[in-house]
Amino acid sequence: MLKKQIPNIFTLLNLLSGTIAVLMAVTDRLVEAAFLVFLGIFFDFFDGFFARKFNVEGDFGKQLDSLSDMVTSGLVPGIIMFQLILFASKDKYFMEISSEVGNWQGYSEIYFYFIPFIGLLIPLASACRLAKFNIDERQSGSFIGLPTPALSLFIVSLPLILHYSNDQFSIDLINNIYVLISITILGSYLLNAEIPLFSLKFKNYSWKDNKTKFVFLVLSILMLIFLKTVAIPLLIILYIVLSVIENLNNKYKTT
């Protein structure tokens, strides 16, 4: 009986990590929130692993998993993006450009109080993504659309880059309000796009069946070693690019 509850315990640990991360994010402790999201995604991986290992996959666990992911990989990155856009909207360069449109005092309320809410598109899109995943039978061995943890990793890595990286180019990009808004809109679209993306689940370990996965894992290790925190968002981009290449190769083989 206890064995059957192990996956659910890991799912609840994911939810707990995400809930604490929310508290960190709303108080502008974004680095702590990011690490808690990483911890939550770690628990999320193992709840599925143990569910398959003990053969206890069921509807309850599936729904509980999605509800937990909604917090850890949906709500938290949305709040973090809100905070990043709010900070970027106070950037001197952005204020100067905006003030050219008219009286800055009149426009400040729009920029400071409304534009950051664009970041909350992420939890809305995540909710749609998770709901679709639960009823889409095509996603048992792969994904249709970007998984919520992947977009979450991309977004929560941004405050880590700001905090730990010395790469000024990356820092300037993250502090650019237009870049952040673009990431929000594009990420929200990719969550629900009809784009097949490979899963890192292995049915076997043959090179022929898992070539793309092995390439991704090797490149991931190398990028993390040499680029550190900057590698994380690049890995998500690499994941999408490799998936598209694999899709084109599969399409070419069937024609």
Is pLDDT larger for residue 221 or for residue 205?
221
Measured CA to CA, the distance from residue 154 to residue 99 in angstroms comes to 32
How far is it, in rounded angstroms, from Cα 49 to Cα 203?
A: 13
Distance, in Å, from the CA atom of 40 to the CA atom of 42, rounded to the nearest integer, reads 5
Element (H, E) at 102: none
Domains of the chain in sequence order = 2-254 (1.20.120)
Please tell me the predicted confidence (pLDDT) of residue 106: 47
**Do the Cβ atoms of 229 and 160 come closer than 8 Å?**
yes
User: Is the pLDDT assigned to residue 117 strictly greater than 80?
Assistant: yes
Which residues lie closer than 8 Å to 191 by C-beta, 6 or more apart?
125, 126, 128, 129, 145, 146, 148, 151
CA dist 178 and 89 (Å) reads 9
User: From CA 240, how far away is CA 139, in angstroms rounded?
Assistant: 16
pLDDT at 18 over 90: yes
pLDDT score of 89: 82
d(CA 212, CA 239): 9
> At 53, is the pLDDT very low, low, confident or very high (cuts 50, 70, 90)?
confident
What pLDDT, on a 0 to 100 scale, did the predictor assign at position 90? 74
Sign of CA dihedral 121, 12, 38, 237: negative
Q: If you search the block for the tokens 């690490």, which residue do you land on?
A: 35
Of the two residues 8 and 24, the one the predictor is more confident about is 24
Measured distance CA(188)–CA(148) in Å, rounded: 10
Mean pLDDT of 223-247: 95
Task: Choose from 138-142, 166-170, 186-190, 202-206 the range with maximum mean pLDDT.
Answer: 186-190
Given a cut of 50, whether residue 237 has pLDDT beyond it is yes
- Six-digit token pair at 32? 């702590």
pLDDT of residue 138: 76
Mean pLDDT of 128-141: 82
- What is the C-alpha to C-alpha distance for residues 113 and 101, in angstroms, rounded to an integer? 18
